[in-house]
Amino acid sequence: MPLVRLDSEEEPAPNLAPMIDVVLVLTIFFMCATKFSDDERKFDLDLPQAGAAAAAAGGRPEIVEVEASGGVRVGGEEVASESLVARLSSAR
């Protein structure tokens, strides 16, 4: 923080103008943000409710790699693009 020296006999004092500017800008920002959040609460949304959900199986994930040349690997082994759908369907 820069120190302001007005006279050679006075003690230096911190310049509070930048801090006041920041506080005013933050006050205006939060006033606007509060106004926006009030406007967003006006919308009534019909959110879906979760019913009885089945637990996901804890199997290992399949990693599908697509090379720039067009080759496809699933789990580190080469797979033809024709058999990719069958392989992923069986893993699911």
| Tokens describing residue 3 | 């120190």
CA dihedral sign of residues 49, 53, 59, 64: negative
Q: Which carries the bigger pLDDT value, residue 3 or residue 14?
A: 14
Nearest to 80 by CA among 88, 11, 62: 88
Tens digit of pLDDT for each residue in 20-75?
999 999 999 988 877 665 566 677 778 888 777 777 666 677 788 888 888 888 88
What's this model's pTM, rounded to 2 decimal places? 0.34
